[in-house]
A and B are shown apart, each in its own frame.
Chain A
Amino acid sequence: MQDIIKQIYLDYASTTPLAREVVSEMEAVMKGQSFGNPSSVDHLFGKQAHEAVEYARLEIASLINADADEIVWTSGATEANNLAILGLARFKKNGFKRHVISSFAEHKSVIEPCLQVKKEGFKLTLLNPNVNGSVDINELESVINEKTLLVSLMHVNNEVGSINDIKSIGNLCRKNNVFFHVDAAQGIGKLPIDIKDCNIDLMSLNAHKIYGPKGIGALFINNESVGRIEPILIGGGQERSLRPGTLATHQIAGMARAYKIAQEKMSSDQRHLMQCRELFIDTCQDISRLSVNGNSENVFPGILSVSIDGLHAESIIYGMKMVAVSKGSACNSDDDEPSHVLKAMGLSQSEINGTVRFSFGRDTDIKDVEYACSIYRDSVDHLHRLRGDKK
């Protein structure tokens, strides 16, 4: 237990700790009379739960300028991505438009459903990200055609932090009458996003990356442009039958509280994350063979991906025993498969091997960043000595 306390957590892109206010909110729901089934509105317990759920729906919708009835609760962004892509494609399966566009930089919870709709008869185009990790809008425009049904792209890349130009992509899609789905798992609550301004039709949301609970998320479904998709789960009428299953009131309330806090703290969080990022880069820039992956301008400052050509990230991280970071993305950290995102960005195998993702958060202390830099440098130096590398 003592070792855990001493650890410095710099893996906020993987997940975040619950905000104190979120814990209080969830505890209040669990301890109070809102434990009833939100669908059982014939009695007080159910009504109170229903009210908590609907209040939360309104809170989530307000952060993205949507209407409350455009929010469908899911178990997280992975389910929301599945529901958006599979649900839309299956609902439109008999239509003329049977082409889906996404990118190799997407999370696997987008790529795998895209591959599934390909198996179901759709044509799939996966774009390569540019060297910065974002999608080139001209390249996107060149592959959109009259049969294109859906473009699915992420807002913020989970491995390198690059930001897609969602507004321009949304405009392009609307101009071409193509549905636009955004995986906002890494960007929501951290960067402002307005679904009307960006012409977004579907957007996947989660809570656990902005100090909310795990196991809860939502899919925004634009009432005007999409209206209806096909559910991927069946067997209940909840969420207009789009997502059956008893709603988890306490998690939903926790998610709404996390979103409310995120809205209030977005600017100060951004400034703090930028400070952490700049400090790390300034302190470590003289480390031999170090390169920062992604665009230095158009990047979410909370995610910093750095590579050391020739070294192995697993050993770098092992050497940094007091600091919790990830190699590649957290989803990949328990296998040896190289990151598909870094590969698509054009990094060599040797650079990918040596890639570590530092991700900062609201609670990151500047002194902890300084300490992490020093530990990172020590670990890298040790591995260079083991290899017999000359400085």
Chain B
Amino acid sequence: MTENLTRFYFEKEDHLFDSEDDKLTFVVKGSAKNSQGMEIDLYFKVEEGRIVDAKYNVGGCPVLIAISAFYIENVIGKKLDRCYDFNAIGIHESIEIPNHKKDRMILLENAVDDCLGQIRSR
């Protein structure tokens, strides 16, 4: 992600989960944390195997915030089986993550995995 795109998604607040307004609509929640106190909560609204809406909360470094916002914006409309295909979503093409921050992608992936686990267990 270029510096401009990182900042653009860092500053975006379009798909933030609001626990008061959204709690009944978004029943699938996946979370992930790391040892540095960074955390992501993802919320999917799923209809007929497709993510029709998605929201998130995130705390951490600018890269984590930016990739979370980018992911959420681009996962809406995707079929569930493509939701952690980051190539399909376009993160890898669009985002340039410094080497020492590659683990932020794993954190995002873990949150997506958690979401899918919730869906499968229902």
Q: Is the pair A336, B41 in contact by a Cβ cutoff of 8 Å?
A: no
Query: Closest residue to A313 on the B side, CB-wise?
Result: B61
What are 7 inter-chain pairs, A to B, with CB distance below 8 A?
A312-B59, A312-B61, A314-B62, A315-B60, A336-B36, A382-B13, A388-B17
Q: Which residues of chain B have a CB within 8 Å of any CB of chain A? A: 7, 10-11, 13, 16-19, 36-38, 41, 57-62, 65, 100
Q: Is the pair B100, A353 in contact by a Cβ cutoff of 8 Å?
A: no
Q: List the 8 closest A-B pairs by CB distance, nearest first.
A: A388-B57, A318-B62, A387-B59, A314-B61, A353-B37, A315-B62, A386-B58, A350-B37
Q: Is the pair B13, A312 in contact by a Cβ cutoff of 8 Å?
A: no
User: Interface digits, A100-126 against B, CB 8 Å rule (1 contact, 0 not)?
Assistant: 000000000000000000000000000
User: Interface digits, A301-326 against B, CB 8 Å rule (1 contact, 0 not)?
Assistant: 00000000011101100110100000
> At the interface, yes or no: A43 with Cβ under 8 Å from chain B?
no
- Report the Cα distance A382→B13, complex, angstroms: 8
Query: Closest residue to A311 on the B side, CB-wise?
Result: B59
How many residues of chain A are within 8 Å of chain B by beta carbon? 19
Chain A residues contacting B38 (CB-CB under 8 Å) are: 312
- Report the Cα distance A326→B19, complex, angstroms: 33
- Report the Cα distance A155→B48, complex, angstroms: 67
Q: Is the pair B65, A321 in contact by a Cβ cutoff of 8 Å?
A: no
Q: Which residues of chain A have a CB within 8 Å of any CB of chain B? A: 310-312, 314-315, 318-319, 321, 336, 349-350, 353, 382-383, 385-388, 390
Q: Is the pair B60, A349 in contact by a Cβ cutoff of 8 Å?
A: no
For chain B, what secondary structure do more than half of its interface residues adopt (helix, strand, loop), or is it mixed?
mixed
Query: Closest residue to B38 on the A side, CB-wise?
Result: A312
Q: Is the pair B41, A388 in contact by a Cβ cutoff of 8 Å?
A: yes
- Report the Cα distance A71→B10, complex, angstroms: 50
Chain B residues contacting A315 (CB-CB under 8 Å) are: 10, 60-62, 65
Give the distance to chain A from B15, nearest Cβ to Cβ, in Å. Answer: 11
Give the distance to chain B from A115, nearest Cβ to Cβ, in Å. Answer: 25
Give the distance to chain A from B42, nearest Cβ to Cβ, in Å. Answer: 12
- Report the Cα distance A387→B57, complex, angstroms: 5
Chain A residues contacting B62 (CB-CB under 8 Å) are: 314-315, 318
- Report the Cα distance A176→B13, complex, angstroms: 61
Q: Is the pair B59, A382 in contact by a Cβ cutoff of 8 Å?
A: no
Give the distance to chain B from A128, nearest Cβ to Cβ, in Å. Answer: 23
Given contacts A315-B10, A353-B36, 7 further A-B contacts (CB under 8 A): A311-B59, A315-B65, A318-B10, A385-B16, A386-B13, A388-B16, A388-B17
- Report the Cα distance A386→B11, complex, angstroms: 9
- Report the Cα distance A312→B57, complex, angstroms: 14
- Report the Cα distance A385→B17, complex, angstroms: 9
